[in-house]
Each structure stands twice: as structure tokens, then as C-alpha cells.
Structure 1
Amino acid sequence: MSEPRSAPVAVLGIVLAVVAGVAAVGFAGWAAIAAIGGTSPVPWVFARASGVTSYVLLVALVATGLVLSHPWSRGLRRPSARTRLGLHVSLATFTLVFTVLHVVVLATDPWAQVGWRGAVLPMASTYRPVAVTLGVIALWAGLVTGVTARLAGSIAARVWWPVHKVAAASLVLVWGHSVLAGTDVVGLRGFYLATGFAVLGLAVTRYAARNPADRVAELSRMLDQDHPGARVAPQRRDGATR
């Protein structure tokens, strides 16, 4: 049975996620219309567009991950768990593609003053080194998360699953990178706030809904993945197995 205190927190999280999600759509549309008349160099605009796209994809990626591991997801009939997992994997692929595009454009654009070193090494960028470094750390953290997830079938779940949770930290870093590095942050401020609160609200419902039984079930699944053929033998009252 779930803890009584978790219900009000979960409801608050749902309301926060829904309101912030609707606000995010509105702000995104407003920012897209405002950006039409921009006068920035084309490569920079292309870099910002690919960066914002990868950010939106990362938000969706983390959100689907939270839904996949959400205790309430057991009651979902449609879409199926396989479809949800496929969506999660597809979002990870597209996030990687647009992130690579974002990095390549910035690294090859002299006007951006980032360069290849700044795009892959911390504090090596001439342009806003701290803000760019947040993105660099998020990039490497995301790569580690993706590689370990790809190897989920060949390495123990107790190894890759905690590493996989780094994706949430990557989103925080990317959020900070987007807010501090972009020249269009004034126009997108509401968008970043709305999407950040949307994921936060979903995360609140995710962890507020957990109870000891959910934790036991998760550990059991991890043990089954580590040792598919192993089963714990039941014990008698005297402690002996049968």
C-alpha cells in the first residue's frame, strides 16, 4: 500500500506537469514566430535551431523514461510497453543526431568562437566558457548513458541502470547550458521555464508514487536480468531451503 502523504504531492506534480506542458507549447510557438525576422549569421541560427531541437528531444526523452519507470505506468494499456520503449529509443537516436549537428556547426563556425576544442573539452571555448562547458559535460554524460543503455543486455542491470539515471542530470546541465549560452534566451525564457517545470512535475509524480513494494519489484527485475536462470529457493521456518 502506498504512503498516504504521497497522494497530495503526486496530484500537485500532475497539475504542474500539465500546466507547464501547455505553457511550453505556447512559448515555443511564440518564439518560432519571433525568430523569423532575426538578423544573426546563418550558421549561428542553424546551430541555435539544432541546439533547441536537441533540447526539446532530450526533454521528451527524459519524460518518456520517467513514464516507462513510473509505478502508474503499469495501468496503461495503450500504447503498449513495447511501443513506449521503442519511442524512447527513437528519441534517444534523434537527440544524438541533432546534438552532433549542433556540435559540428558550432565547432566549424568561426563566428561562434567555440572551435573543436571548445566543443569537446571543458573551459576551452572562447565564447562563454562556463556556459559551453555545461553543454560539454552534458554531452559526455549523455554518451556514457547511451552506451551503457545500449549494452544493457550484456552487462549487469545493477551496473547500467544507475548510470542510466545520469540522463536526468544531463538534462539539468543542458537546461543551464541553453539558458546561459544562447543569445535568444530572452525570447525563450518562458519556454525553458515551462519545459523545466514540466519535467520536474513529472519527476515529482514518479518518485512520490513509489513505495517499498515498487522498490522490491525493481530489485527483483534487476536480479532477473543479471541472472536469468536463477531463482531464490523458498525457505522454511528453520532457515533451510527446500
Structure 2
Amino acid sequence: MTGHARPPVVLATATVLLAVATAASLGAAALLVLDATSGEAVTWVLGRAGGLASYVLLLALVVTGLVQAHPWSRHLHTPSPRTRLTVHVSLATFTLVFTVLHVVVLALDPWAQVGWRGAVLPMASGYRPVPVTLGVIALWAGLLTGVTAAFAGRFAARVWWPIHKVAAVVLVLVWAHSVLAGSDVALLQGFYLATGSAVVALGISRYAARTPADRVAELTRDLDASRGPATTPRSPSSHRAARS
């Protein structure tokens, strides 16, 4: 029992350290930029750093979710399904943390012209209202996805699983928000194109692959077809009428 419990704990600890290292790296990069700009646009730089970190974490979150649900994952023996689930949950937590950082910092920044209303309400931002609105919708949709996933063990899968699939739509919205609202998209154009294409390819392979349930359904249809059309049993009255 203890041997099975160690890998997720170790991996969760490694995920925490990775997130801390990411935050420290982003903070160091922000300090270098601030030093080069003589301290101007402090909150803007930190907000953009938090947004980029949340995008990377969301990207990893969706990828691990697709791998977890992929029919080919049954051939993966390492890491174990429990370990993969632990990584997925840890990524969801850190994605939320950096998203909150991104929203709060930009809402407090007067130069960004987003404000609190623009950070939580559609079309309320003074800065690029349409791209920012994509991020707002992604924020609320992501919260809905996370809340429903928290009740995965308490409700049937048919209740929360369809809502959980909204995470893929959230990534599309965040990708569009990052490309259209970010001031540094020219420097990260190749990064956004590469990551977006990779996730689309993984998603296509996930939903195009035949699952065991698909094979069972195909066998059932073939069996029904081989039996031919079902005959309707005749009632006793019809038998009496035929004899008469």
C-alpha cells in the first residue's frame, strides 16, 4: 500500500517545485525587464508574465487530460494512471493560481486600462475589449470546469464529464486571447503556432481513435445485422383468425 502511495506524492512534490521554479524564473525575467525600462509599467510586465505562465500551465493541463482519456493510454505503464491523475490535478491548481495573478495584477494596473469590471465582465475593458472578453469567458468557463471536476467522485460521470470537456474550448479561447491581446505576440508567434498545432493534433488523434466502447458498439451492430430483421410475434387472436 505504501509503495503505491509514494509515486504520486513524489510527483506532486516535483510539480510544486517546478511551479515555484517557473514563478521564480518569470519573476527574475520581469525584474530584468523592469530594470531595463527604469521601473516603468511594473504591473503590466508582471501581468504579462503571469498570463504567459498560466497559458503554459493550461497547455500542460489539457495535454495531460487528453493523454489520460486517450484510448492509447492503456498501453502506457509508466507513469501509472494514478500518477497521471495527480499531475493533472496539480496542474489545475497552479493554472488557477497564475490565472488569478494575471487577472488581479492587470485589474490593478491603471496603465493597462482593463480594470476590475473589464477583468470579470465581457466587453467592459478599455484595452482591446474583444480579445480581453475572450479571456474573461475562458476564465469563467475554466472555473466551471474545475468546480464540476471537483465533484467527480460524488456525481455520475454523465453529469460532470460533458462539462469537463469544456476545458478544450477554454484552451482555444485562451490561445486566441493571448495572440490578440498580448503586446508581445510578435516575439512568441512561433511558440503559439507550435503549441496550438500540437494540441490540435493530439485532440484529433484522441477523438479519432477507436475506443473499446466503439468496438463493442460495432460488434453489437454486426451481430444485430447478421440476425436479420426481427419478427413480431403473433398474438393468440391472430392465430385463431388464421385457423378459421
Q: Shift of the alpha carbon at 1:139?
A: 0.2
Q: CA deviation at 1:210?
A: 2.3
Classify 1:38/1:168 alpha carbon distance in 2 versus 1 (closer, same or farther; 3 Å).
farther
What is the identity, as a one-letter code, of the residue corresponding to 2:76? L
> In 2, distance between residues paired with 1:59 and 1:214?
28
Counterpart of 1:196 in structure 2 is 196
Relative to 1, partners in 2 of residues 1:38 and 1:198: Cα closer, same or farther, differing over 3 Å?
A: farther
Are 2:60 and 1:66 equivalent residues in the alignment? no
Q: Percent identity?
A: 73
Residue equivalent to 1:85: 85
Choose 1 or 2 for highest CA Rg. Answer: 2
User: What is residue 139 of structure 1 aligned with on the other side?
Assistant: 139
Task: Map 1:1-242 to 2 at 5 A.
Answer: 36=33, 39=37, 41-211=41-211, 213-215=212-214
Residue-by-residue CA offset, 1:102-137 (whole Å, 9 max, x unaligned): 000011110110000000000000000000000000
Contact 1:43 1:105 in 2 (8 A): yes
- Please, what is the CA RMSD of the aligned residues? 2.0
* Deviation readout 1:50-94 (Å, 9 max, x if unpaired): 000000000000000000000010011100100000000000000
**Following the alignment from structure 1 to structure 2, what is the Cα–Cα distance between the partners of residues 77 and 144?**
31
Deviations 1:123-158 (A, max 9, x none): 000000000000000000000000000011112210
For the 8 Å contact 1:107–1:115, the answer to whether it is kept is: yes
- Contact 1:71–1:214, Cα closer than 8 Å, also in 2: no
Which SS does the other structure have where 1:112 is aligned?
A: coil
Q: Give the C-alpha shift of residue 215 in structure 1.
A: 4.3
Amino acid at match of 2:139: L
Deviation of 1:38 (Å): 6.2
The aligned residue for residue 240 of structure 1 is none
Q: In the alignment, which residue of structure 2 is the partner of 1:19?
A: none
Partners of 1:128 and 1:214 in 2: CA distance:
45
Query: Structure 2: which 5+ runs fail to align?
Result: 1-28, 217-244
Q: Give me the whole-angstrom Cα distance separating, in 2, the residues matched to 1:216 and 1:129.
A: 47
Contact 1:67/1:73, CA 8 A, preserved across alignment: yes
- AA partner of residue 81 (structure 1): P
Which amino acid in structure 2 is aligned with residue 116 of structure 1? Answer: W
Cα distance in 1 for residues equivalent to 2:156 and 2:77:
29
Structure 1: 5+ residue stretches without partners? 1-31, 218-242
